[in-house]
Structure 1
């Protein structure tokens, strides 16, 4: 079976390699528990964006512990920051959940300074016609209802490429999925 490394391990490795390199003001889209903050350099100003008014206790604790951090309560489609105000944006399994991926990516480009980077780790749609893609299409409506809007059948790589970044690097990976499927993942960097 392609890919024997579980998604959680791939995500952990990505965080450990991609996030410590970020500097300046870093926006964490859909910060969730705030685990990304644990991997950022101490001098980074971490902005945690969450659309929900009620946040996880782990996120609150990380915000309290990290100097220069701030919670922004808003959707990714309407980031409450000035244009060109951040050096990097983190998107870790969040672009599957936004209501309008193109609008969210437009907002990411807007708030990034020239040369700023979007670093991402996302699960994406399987190849068209594959058993994975068929299963994703079947359970996507349920997933959107019970998993914070997550649509596992999105072609997020295509959305990032179409968003108008100066350059986009995407690495595709496969990890074991359910019922004999594989879970397709991408990681990479898009530069404003």
Structure 2
């Protein structure tokens, strides 16, 4: 079985070679203009399937408001604003994303969620939030982002840095499946192609291990099978950590 899996991955890598060459010569950047449109449309289906999971995940966000009663939330990789409807009334949201082409779709979500106050938009990767001051937010949110960053530990380090003491980091991420499963077989085989179609998405990360090693004082984490989601990204982790 392992030999078959390796062979199939090699075939998939060969199929992905044109995309690799496009990236090597800088032409893959054109796809970053198209990806926000694809992601925006996929968001509706994903949110429908994951509505109960997201509602449960964010149900206690308001409890992390600061001593003055206000809640300042920073979202890493906000994309088109798929989480906005789950945030509590009056919350102030700071949006960050490395892809500026999400802007038009992000504004649509802002217009549809008037219960929130929106601060600045920061064009930055999760690994480098230097424009955000230390301990300046109550909550950091990161959903379906850690699969595509270059360094998960660095993103988590930045999240801890900008969080005030007692603040929370919320996460919802797809992760690698058990190596003995058929899900893992397909994740391993199709990952080279999925990486390019998903704008850098990697499907074989054991992200929970990075969270366990990130230095948070508390970690509340659950492994789930996302209902109705494509097999490649069905295994998820969800929860929050407290600084």
Whether TM-score is above 0.5 comes out as yes
- Richer in strand (by share): 1
Residue in 1 that maps onto 2:107: 60
- Richer in helix (by share): 2
* Backbone CA RMSD of aligned residues: 2.3
Contact 2:203 2:233 in 1 (8 A): no
Residue in 2 that maps onto 1:38: 85
Gaps of 5+ in 2: 1-44, 66-70
Deviates more, 1:143-152 or 1:55-64: 55-64
Contact 1:21 1:40 in 2 (8 A): no
In 2, the alpha carbon distance for the partners of 1:117 and 1:178 equals 29
Deviates more, 1:17-26 or 1:130-139: 17-26
Shift of 1:54: 1.5
Shift of 1:135: 1.5
Residue in 1 that maps onto 2:158: 107
In 2, the alpha carbon distance for the partners of 1:141 and 1:165 equals 32
Shift of 1:187: 0.6
Contact 2:74 2:95 in 1 (8 A): yes
What SS does the corresponding residue of 1:33 show, helix, strand or coil? coil
The answer to whether structure 1 residue 51 and structure 2 residue 98 are counterparts is yes
TM-score, normalised to structure 2's length?
0.69
Give runs of aligned pairs for residues 43-192 of structure 1, distance below 5 A: 43-63=90-110, 65=114, 66-79=116-129, 80-175=131-226, 183-192=234-243
Shift of 1:41: 1.8
Shift of 1:96: 0.6
Contact 2:174 2:233 in 1 (8 A): no
Gaps of 5+ in 1: 1-5
Deviates more, 1:51-60 or 1:41-50: 51-60
In 1, the alpha carbon distance for the partners of 2:164 and 2:194 equals 34
In 2, the alpha carbon distance for the partners of 1:178 and 1:94 equals 17
Residue in 1 that maps onto 2:11: none
Larger radius of gyration: 2
In 2, the alpha carbon distance for the partners of 1:55 and 1:129 equals 37
TM-score, normalised to structure 1's length?
0.86
Residue in 2 that maps onto 1:3: none
Shift of 1:148: 1.8
